[in-house]
Each structure stands twice: as C-alpha cells, then as structure tokens.
Chains A and B, each alone.
Chain A
Amino acid sequence: MSEAALDWISARSEIVRNALSIGFAVAMYGLSFGALGTTTGFTIAQTMALSLLMFTGASQFTLVSTIASGGTAITAVLASWLMGTRNTAYSMRMTPILQARGPERFVAVQLTIDESTAMGLAQDETAFQGRASRLAFWATGLSVYILWNTSTYIGAVSVSAIGDPKAFGLDAAIAAGLFALVWPQIKSRLELSVALGGALVALCLTPIVPPGIPVLAAATVAIIIGWVTTRNDA
C-alpha cells in the first residue's frame, strides 16, 4: 500500500474517533434537552420531533425555554429561527467544500450545525483532495444526529423517573453546554465585547420585555459592532 493511502487511513480513523467523541459529549446535552422538553409540557413525540426535524440544539433549547419561561408560541418560534440563523452562515461556508449533489445536499443541509461545521473547518481544506473536510463534516453530523436523538429520547422518557431535573443541576448543565460552545469562538477583544454586550443587552431587557425577546435583541450588538468595525477598517 502506498504511503499516501496509509496516511489517509490514519487520518480517517482519527476523524471518525473525534466525531464519535463529539457525539457522546453532545449526548449529555441531549439528555437534558429531552428532560427539559417533557418537564416544560411538550409530549415525548413533540420533544423527539424537535430533535429529529429541527436538529439544532440552540434553537431547540431556545424554543423550549421560551415556552418554559412563559413566552408565547409565536415568540418561541421566532426566537428559534433567530438562533438558527447562524446555521445559514455555516451552510454558506460548507456548501462549496461539501459539493453535495441531489438528495445528499438536502441531508447535508439538515446536518449543518455548530459541531459538524467546526469539525469540517478544523481540517486542512486541501488535505486528501478535500476528503478530510468532507469526512469530518459527515462523520460528525451523523454521529451527533444519531446520539442527539437517542439521548433526547432517553431524557424525555426517564424524566418522570428521575424527578426534578433542577435537583440534578440539569438547568445549569444547559447553560454550561452553550457556554462551552461559545467559549472557543471568543478569540479576541472584538468577540469578547460582542459576547459581553449581547449578555448585557439581554439581561437589561429581561425585566422589561417578554421572554425570548432579550436574546433576539442581542443580535443588534453583533450587527452594530460588525458594521462599525468593518467601516472603520475600510
């Protein structure tokens, strides 16, 4: 076997291994999502439908937490859409790399989330004629899809058995999970100010406007800072 072929075999197994560990890490989060869904008053079928069809953690948590904190269905839907807008940016970035055709393209679209995109972009785009990036995306997307849905189901059905999720700190686990996802995205003072600004806007608005809106409003921080800083650079 040629050296290049052997290189690909070892690169491939490392990618698959990482994809699986991300899947298992996310499963913990899926467990708390399943539990939160059913404690909020969603049925098991509705909670599962969110994981199977929406398949984007932040939107799912936003939708459920908005309802949990007394928001209306419309606010919850809008908030979930807004949280889903970053997937638009992800698929803009991944589409030329994946070069998926036909039905494969529609599956790739559904699997476009934080983890699959981050893994796909973590590879050298030119390595193995782009095969590394594509495998990393697909392996992570599929691993997370399967484990996210399995863990959602387990969390949703076992919640009544395990009692109050708060007693297990599951509410804190949700915040920590999101925190861990945003953490690596803060690479400079620019991202830090956007993060703190977004948090501050949301907290200031919490007592004034209905639940869900404060998070929506935090988008303005990114838009203003992004617009102003590019204008100043130009």
Chain B
Amino acid sequence: MWFAVLAGAAGCYLLKFIGSAVPAHYLEQVTVKKITLLLPISLLSALVAVQTLAASQTLVVDARLPALAMSAVALRFKAPFIVVVIISAATAAALRHFGLAN
C-alpha cells in the first residue's frame, strides 16, 4: 500500500511540476490547448459515472443514482458546493435508512 501511496504522490507532484516547466509556445498550439481543456472534463465525468453506477466490475442501480440526480437539481439551482455534497449524502443515507435502496 505504501508503494501506491508514495509512487502515486511522487508522480502527481511531477505532473504538476512538468506543467510549470513547459515552454509557453508549445501551449499556444490550438490542438494542445483544446485537448488539455477537454481532458479533465472527460475524466471527471467518467469517474462520476463509475462511482455512481459501478460496483467493482458490475453496473448496478442503487441509492447513489437518485443521490446524484438530487445533486444535479441542487447544481441547477446554483447551490454552493457544500450544499450539493450534503444533499447527495442525505438522499443516499435516507434511502438506505428506510430500506428503499441499497
């Protein structure tokens, strides 16, 4: 486990560092600019999807999906970050407490 922790941390620091050392002219290339803009969007969306619907290697619908739907509603009404997170947690916790979802 320490291997994963330290190798992961070292790599993540290096990735941050590389960005500070990249020559400016390279960054101005249109394609590079566009891809670096879109990359976090596809990765984060994928992670949200997996964290909501995946249980190891199977796809399941449980309390997480209605919780995410509620957080979407909160975001739609421009709720602050912490409110969005609390609404999601409360939805999942309530559904599980009353035995309405896993």
A175 near B20: Cβ-Cβ < 8 Å: no
Partner of A86, one of B24, B43, B71: B43
The chain A residues found within 8 Å of chain B, CB to CB, are 21-22, 24-26, 28-29, 32, 41-43, 46, 49-50, 53-56, 58-59, 61-63, 65, 67, 69-70, 73, 76-77, 80-96, 105-106, 108-110, 112, 114, 166-183, 185-186, 190-191, 194-203, 206-207, 210-211, 214-215, 217-219, 221-223, 225-227, 229-231, 233-234
Partner of A178, one of B4, B18, B44: B44
**Does B1 touch A at the CB level, under 8 Å?**
yes
A85 (CB) vs chain B CBs: closest residue:
B15
The chain B residues found within 8 Å of chain A, CB to CB, are 1-13, 15-20, 22, 24, 27, 30-31, 34-59, 63-64, 67-68, 71-72, 75, 80-82, 84-94, 96-97
Complex CA gap A62/B8 in Å reads 10
Which 10 pairs of residues, A with B, have the shortest CB-CB distance?
A91-B19, A198-B42, A176-B88, A169-B92, A218-B46, A172-B92, A202-B46, A172-B67, A169-B89, A199-B49
A49 near B5: Cβ-Cβ < 8 Å: yes
Q: How far is the CB of B84 from chain A (nearest CB, A)?
A: 5
Q: How far is the CB of B10 from chain A (nearest CB, A)?
A: 8
B34 near A169: Cβ-Cβ < 8 Å: no
Complex CA gap A201/B4 in Å reads 26
B29 (CB) vs chain A CBs: closest residue:
A230
Complex CA gap A76/B86 in Å reads 27
Q: How far is the CB of A162 from chain B (nearest CB, A)?
A: 12
Q: How far is the CB of A203 from chain B (nearest CB, A)?
A: 5
Partner of B45, one of A88, A166, A182: A182
B58 near A46: Cβ-Cβ < 8 Å: no
